[in-house]
């Protein structure tokens, strides 16, 4: 995948890039999905990635999550694919080449890591991973999250890729992931894989960046839609959810 042409990056939005590899992976996976699942709706990150379906099945695709890290030759990036129906998540795939790991699974199937059964291990760190959201639009909330965690003497990191953040939580390398804004394709596959094993508290945001009342439905997402989210083990979720609610003025 990695040659000079595919690594050539262009600015997409403030703080985000797109490469030829993003477009190529999206095109290839989109073609495969349509061939194997005719009529499937596709919600993907890059231009041309929204394909209206003809039935009840949807794919949410992030061809390269962590494009900045990918373009810089770092290890924190990956490919995300979530399969959904109107009833919710069905199955997900998360491929992180830099860690030589492929996670897949769904609520009726269990979790596999590199084709072997995977259980969520104990977590022995207090590290919390914090996403930055969109540069400028979400910076105030991002800084507020960091401040509230610092006041609780909780240390934080950012890897630049939702896939790396949530897989770190799943593998006991971090206690939680908090983000002021992710896209549907950032969260959908991981939500499907770890459904019922990790708790995902997700808040859809409107055009004014305010929380929308009601359940989240990724199958109706647009390329502009964003979601604030907290991901943690069930026993830890309330501690970090309370921080997000404060930041979103939901207390």
CATH 3.40.190.80 maps onto the chain at: 128-247
Q: Which fold has domain 128-247?
A: D-Maltodextrin-Binding Protein; domain 2 (3.40.190)
CATH 3.30.540.10 maps onto the chain at: 4-117
pLDDT tens per residue, range 121-177 = 999 999 999 999 988 889 999 999 999 999 999 999 999 999 999 999 999 999 999
Please state the rounded mean pLDDT for residues 112-116.
98
The CATH number of 4-117 is 3.30.540.10
pLDDT tens per residue, range 39-98 = 999 999 887 778 888 888 999 999 999 988 888 889 999 999 999 999 999 999 999 999
* pLDDT at residue number 51: 81
* pLDDT at residue number 219: 93
CA dist 2 and 29 (Å) reads 17
Q: How confident is the model at residue 210 (pLDDT cuts 50, 70, 90)?
A: very high
Please state the rounded mean pLDDT for residues 92-119.
96
Dihedral sign for Cα atoms in the order 49, 215, 118, 58: negative
* pLDDT at residue number 1: 47
Long-range contacts of 23-30 (CB under 8 A, 24+ apart): 23/47, 23/63, 24/63, 25/1, 25/63, 25/64, 25/79, 26/61, 26/63, 29/61, 29/63, 29/79, 29/81, 30/61
* pLDDT at residue number 65: 94
Higher pLDDT, 145 or 222: 145
CA dist 145 and 44 (Å) reads 28
What pTM does this model have? 0.93
Angle at 224 between CA 218 and CA 156, to 5 degrees: 80
pLDDT tens per residue, range 50-65 = 888 888 899 999 999 9
* pLDDT at residue number 14: 57
In this structure, what are the phi and psi dihedrals at residue 232, rounded to the nearest 5 degrees? -160, 175
Nearest alpha-carbon partner for 61 in 87, 38, 39, 84? 84
Please state the rounded mean pLDDT for residues 27-32.
93
């Amino acid at each position: 995948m990695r040659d000079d042409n595919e690594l050539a990056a262009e600015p997409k939005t403030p703080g985000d890039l797109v490469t030829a590899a993003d477009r190529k992976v999206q095109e290839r996976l989109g073609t495969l999905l349509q061939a194997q699942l005719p009529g499937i709706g596709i919600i993907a990150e890059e231009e041309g990635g929204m394909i209206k379906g003809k039935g009840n099945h949807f794919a949410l695709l992030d061809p390269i999550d962590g494009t900045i890290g990918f373009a810089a030759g770092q290890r924190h990036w990956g490919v995300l694919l979530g399969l959904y129906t109107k009833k919710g998540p069905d199955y997900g795939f998360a491929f992180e080449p830099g860690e030589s790991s492929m996670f897949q699974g769904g609520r009726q199937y269990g979790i596999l890591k590199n084709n072997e059964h995977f259980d969520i291990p104990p977590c022995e760190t207090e590290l919390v991973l914090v996403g930055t959201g969109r540069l400028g639009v979400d910076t105030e909330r991002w800084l507020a999250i960091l401040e509230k965690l610092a006041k609780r003497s909780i240390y934080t990191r950012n890897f630049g890729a939702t896939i790396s953040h949530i897989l770190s939580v799943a593998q006991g390398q971090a206690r939680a992931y908090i983000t002021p804004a992710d896209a549907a394709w950032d969260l959908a596959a991981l939500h499907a894989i770890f459904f019922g094993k990790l708790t995902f508290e997700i808040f859809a945001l409107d055009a004014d960046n305010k929380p929308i009342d009601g359940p989240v439905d990724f199958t109706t997402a647009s390329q502009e839609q964003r979601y604030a989210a907290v991901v943690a083990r069930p026993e830890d979720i309330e501690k970090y959810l309370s921080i997000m609610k404060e930041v979103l003025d939901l207390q």
